[in-house]
Amino acid sequence: MLTDMLVPDQWILWEFAGVSFPTNIPTHPLLVVDYELLKKGDQKEMDELWKAATSLGFWYLKNHGADENVEQMFDMGAETMDLSMEEKMKYEQGDGGSSFGYKFAGANAVDASGELDKIEFINIAKDDALAWPNQARRTYPSTVNNRMVSTIVPFVKKSLEINNLILSVFNDKLGLPEGTLLKHHSEEYSASEARTIKAPKNLPVGKQAIGAHTDFGSLSFLHNRLGGLQVLPPGVEEWQYVKPVPGHAICNVGDALALLSGGILRSNIHRVFPPPGAQAAFERWSQVFFTRPGNSVILRPLSDESPLVAEAVSKLSDERRETLTPGVTADDWFNRRIRNQRIKNRSGPETWMASRGTELGRA
């Protein structure tokens, strides 16, 4: 098993050469999937992707061709975060359960105690990027508008191409009628979005920058440069860092695909800590594209469309089957999770519990 995992002993930092990831902390290797091979329909590569997505639910993706787009997104993010707080707050996502727009650091809880998150981010709806210069969902700061054509639309399109190919591989592996998963993700407005995240430097050691969570949507295409991301792998009691590796995106399955696949695809819990060791002295930037189902898609296992899903569901405990069959729309699922994370909506630990997805038992 270990032979086909990447365990990088030697790697250089993306932007901060000379300040290396500590060697004395627990890390978790990920399988590596080659996007170029996936595109060619390489069977072995598709098997590798399937293995990763059904075991940990996280993998590295190389040869994705998006690095330049990501660097431009970081530039857009820096320009946006440099705006005055007053300006940024004009575009804040608010407490109603929508995630598009700006989120200030401390707007969300990171756990049941109500401790505050440490990151700010800007979320741009896929629907707005694709509708530009028309507005689909909301307005954005000038720093976003100015880079919509040069930076954001290309990043969104590239991310969609990649995540859609991965969806089509999953569609085949699950034995779903051709185009089922794509249809569930591209026929109507959705919560799909690009997110640029900034964590300030010198955060208090041992505090969560982003609380433990499973991702809300279907697929996350993540790019970070400094350590901090941690996963809690199945059967393990210790959180482990995922190393950022040059040229390798980090991809993971979110709750929506776990639900639609009857738990065959794994949505694994993760969180973000301040960068480890000497890396803590730097700002931490990450860039994500989240593919999420169309707003009206009902989240429940696609048993009627796939014997494989039906069989998986038949083997689940009653409790697990219930968790995986919320039977609500993707819009409601997403809105509930976002809304109950917002500290303004908190009445007590129960608000945090109401923000949970498939983490139950592991969070």
Ligand X SMILES: O=C(O)CCC(=O)C(=O)O
Q: What residues line the site for ligand X (CB under 6 A)?
A: 195, 197, 210, 215, 222, 224, 229, 270, 272, 286, 288
Q: Does 215 bind Fe ion (CB under 5 A)?
A: yes
According to DSSP, the residues that pair with 103 across neighbouring strands are 121
In angstroms, give the least distance from the CB of 283 to ligand X.
12
* CA dihedral over 9, 232, 207, 220, signed as positive or negative: positive
Of 46-54, 58-66, 170-178, 210-218: span binding Fe ion (CB under 5 A): 210-218
Name which of Fe ion, ligand X, none residue 158 binds, using a CB cut-off of 5 to 8 Å depending on partner kind. none
Name which of ligand X, Fe ion, none residue 286 binds, using a CB cut-off of 5 to 8 Å depending on partner kind. ligand X
In angstroms, give the least distance from the CB of 181 to Fe ion.
20
Residue 150 DSSP symbol: I
Q: Cα–Cα distance between 94 and 208 in angstroms, integer?
A: 22
CA distances from 307 to 174, 314, 317 (A): 8, 10, 18
334 neighbors 190 (Cβ within 8 angstroms): no
Name which of Fe ion, ligand X, none residue 229 binds, using a CB cut-off of 5 to 8 Å depending on partner kind. ligand X
In the complex, residue closest to ligand X by CB: 286
Closer CB to ligand X, 190 or 286, in the complex: 286
| 330, containing H or E segment | helix 330-341
Q: CA end-to-end span of the chain, whole Å?
A: 27
CA distances from 221 to 116, 126, 175, 234, 345 (A): 25, 14, 24, 21, 29
Closer CB to ligand X, 168 or 224, in the complex: 224
In angstroms, give the least distance from the CB of 108 to ligand X.
11
Q: Cα–Cα distance between 6 and 27 in angstroms, integer?
A: 12
Of 59-67, 156-164, 168-176, 213-221: span binding Fe ion (CB under 5 A): 213-221
Phi, psi (rounded to 5 degrees) for 249: -75, 160
Q: How many CB atoms neighbour CB 188 within 10 A?
A: 15
In the complex, residue closest to Fe ion by CB: 215
Name which of ligand X, Fe ion, none residue 224 binds, using a CB cut-off of 5 to 8 Å depending on partner kind. ligand X
Closer CB to Fe ion, 34 or 215, in the complex: 215
In angstroms, give the least distance from the CB of 166 to ligand X.
17
Name which of ligand X, Fe ion, none residue 338 binds, using a CB cut-off of 5 to 8 Å depending on partner kind. none
Which residues would be at the binding site for Fe ion (CB under 5 A)?
A: 215
